[in-house]
Amino acid sequence: MTPDQLAKSGTEHGEQRALFAWLKVAQRHGFDTAWRWAESGDMTVFQSSPYATSNVEQHPELARCFAVPNGGQRDKITAAKLKHEGVKPGVPDVFLPVTCARYAGLFIEMKRSADKATKRRAGSTSNEQDDWISYLRSANYAVSVCFDWRSAARDVQSYIELVKGPG
């Protein structure tokens, strides 16, 4: 499935699934191939990728990107278990623990986008999320709030390019 197919529901969950699908392709084949695949849905882009026969991942650091299980609807028992395990409300949804001279890592908070057709309003950050975002930025983490998988993917790509330098 392509990222757009995964994100079709318009939920944060769908957008986040789409982001991680795109990251997996970018990890192996590079950003250009990941974007071509996402835009076309054509699986043959992998065969024409300059890295198709290579055993070397183009961005192995993307394998370290992970989701923080702090959102979503849960029953009271599961919510209590997670709280006792240390899950904190407001922590951003995605973390890429890759350092560079300027930042200690990248956090991404995924939000639901607006939809005029269904009159659905865009998601907004809670006070707890704002507090975490402020703290993380003060602790030298890059933090972005993204309303779709594409903006999150662009932020990850920009961050990795900052880490690795131009070219």
User: Tens of pLDDT along 46-85?
Assistant: 777 777 777 788 999 999 999 998 766 678 888 788 889 8
Edge-to-edge strands of the sheet including 94-96? 66-67, 94-96, 106-110, 142-146
**Which of 3, 30, 28, 37 minimizes the C-alpha distance to 17?**
3
Domain total in the chain: 1
CATH number at residue 25: 3.40.1350.10
Predicted local distance difference test score (pLDDT) of residue 134 = 98
What is the pTM for the complete model shown?
Answer: 0.87
User: Domain residues for 22?
Assistant: 3-164
